[in-house]
Chain A
């Protein structure tokens, strides 16, 4: 068993606390993705698990064993770096076998494991090359191979695909997903790419400013966000937020022509502002004399994203079928599906449930 458990993990650089008491459990064999805006502490948290950053306070356990003070090499984890961090003067083969060599494994065993890994990653023909004679995607495969060869209980990835071009990124993403299925090891993966997070993860951890905002499966987070931040972060294009006013058993939304949307949720007292969230694909538009002005339209072929300016000045995005997209400058009437609204407290940004 090789789950990872963080208990009140804290990281401070001097007086500056960047990770504030994080509690998290990653089950054995789970693919866990950390997402969050830049600077929120994803890398820091990952490096704490790897042992490359000292944990200021709290506890980290891998496979039930407390490793808070254990050396990186002895934690049973392997890491794939964003910049690959291959050893430039060693061949691909030597790069992948380095970890085993350092731990005194016999040559024959190293060779067997390296060739196994190179078979999985289709690196056979590059084994004798130096890293600088490889393309970016090949380098990243080598660095994944280096991790595989060591046979770790936990794989750690820090934005492994962000240096690759879009097409290669899709290929590698599929490859990583396949790898996870084949090996079945626990993997923790840092990214700020929505799509990577949604497609790869069994469990997504949304971080903001050193706090965990919400943990759950991709669909849980998408369908049932705990707060405005998670709602806005998961899903692409992101959720629209407009202002609403609580009235008895309904929310009045000025942006949608002062329409009152009925709700069973516990609303704050009448007249209090609430934040109304609605995803772009849950709004339909119809041509109208007045309503919202079409600012511009992005055509993607099958679908189009239409940017609207509501009478209140608020901007929203609406997803339409490609052929139905309205011309810019025209007026449309946006009407959201009533059961697709998310309501948030305007002050605390917590979801109203």
Chain B
């Protein structure tokens, strides 16, 4: 957030702006800030309020203040820790696949080849498919143990078809989500790659760096900023993956593919426990902020300078 305020100062007012124009700038952005604040504060404070109530949709009108009991239940629920682990695995897994895969694809797409334009569009395409749709396509057309493409391939090779969503539910969801985010990572990394000065590469080639060293010493450092951006943006979205879980595994079997977001949903809407769900939501917000602080600390400095 500190970065944001710096951004506003420098972009709107500029270093040489007078006190007057700075005040005017503040005044003029204030409606937007107030609107955003209200937009954020109202639901947040309602959630905080609910989280201290015993509030079950099956028993309307029976709300009462129960202090931190909802939090206690949510945090001591064994499902919470499983969901937390799953959330972390999901985020880290997808980040790993998209960044490694995205870098590889970007390197390939940067080479001149016939049909480059069309291939680039094809690579971007998954990003335009809605999460529910893509999850359903994966579930029914690829991973289905009877009709899925993977099952057919396994049978073709004389193997037993593997029921992905039943036996490796979290891994399957990681695959599906990674497939959706791969284009985003590829696109950002490709732009970064294309802005690399060719003469630097030539200089390193003359310095005797082979392909591997050129990648490690020249290309990767150049792309580090873009990789940071990809990590930051994707983490924000990956913490709240929901649709893919809902349409494929429903969080199961057991809690094997439930993440925090899905746990909150299950709590408040499947068990009609609005109070417990709100407590879970607040915990999710706190966790997300902890992650954000760590990310900013660890890689945010990459964005400066």
Q: Which residues of A approach B to under 8 Å, CB–CB?
A: 50-52, 71-74, 77-79, 81, 83, 85-90, 98-99, 102-103, 143, 146, 150
Contact = CB atoms under 8 A, between A and B. Distances in A.
A73 B208 contact: yes
Given A72-B202, A73-B209, A88-B222, 11 more contacts: A51-B206, A52-B202, A71-B205, A73-B207, A74-B208, A87-B203, A89-B221, A102-B209, A102-B210, A102-B213, A146-B203
Interface string B203-230: 1111111100100011001100000000
Most buried by B among A83, A85, A90: A85
A112 to B, nearest CB: 18
Contacts of A98: 204, 207, 209, 217
Interface residues of B, number: 17
A87 B216 CA distance: 12
B207 A150 contact: yes
Contact of B206 (A77, A87, A90): A77
Most buried by A among B199, B206, B222: B206
B200 interface: yes
B202 A103 contact: no
Contacts of B218: 87
A79 B200 CA distance: 11
B75 to A, nearest CB: 43
B207 A102 contact: yes
Nearest to A78: B206
A77 B203 CA distance: 11
B205 A87 contact: no
Contacts of B217: 87, 90, 98
A83 B207 contact: no
A83 B196 CA distance: 13
Contacts of A74: 208
B197 interface: yes
Contacts of A143: 203
Contacts of B205: 52, 71-73
Contacts of B206: 50-52, 72-73, 77-79, 99
Main secondary structure of the interface of B (DSSP, over half): helix
Contacts of B208: 73-74, 99, 102-103
B207 A81 contact: no
Interface of B: 197, 199-200, 202-210, 213, 217-218, 221-222
Nearest to B224: A89
B152 to A, nearest CB: 45
Given A52-B202, A89-B221, A83 B197 contact: yes
Contacts of B199: 81, 83, 85
Nearest to A82: B199
Contacts of A89: 221-222
Contacts of A87: 200, 203-204, 217-218, 221
Instruction: List 5 A-B pairs, minimum CB-CB distance, nearest first.
Output: A73-B208, A99-B207, A85-B199, A89-B221, A85-B203
Nearest to A77: B206
Contacts of B221: 87-89
A73 B222 CA distance: 22
Nearest to B208: A73
12 contacts: A50-B206, A52-B202, A72-B202, A72-B206, A85-B197, A85-B203, A87-B200, A87-B203, A88-B200, A89-B222, A102-B207, A146-B203
A71 B200 CA distance: 17
A72 B206 CA distance: 5
Nearest to A74: B208
Nearest to A99: B207
Contacts of A73: 205-209
B203 A81 contact: yes
A103 B203 CA distance: 14
A81 B204 CA distance: 12
A311 B217 CA distance: 66
A98 B222 CA distance: 16
Contacts of A146: 203, 207
Nearest to A73: B208
Nearest to A47: B202
A293 to B, nearest CB: 50
Nearest to A147: B206
Contacts of A99: 206-208
A150 B202 CA distance: 15
Contacts of A103: 208
Most buried by B among A74, A77, A87, A150: A87
A315 B75 CA distance: 93
Contacts of A85: 197, 199-200, 202-203
A183 B61 CA distance: 93
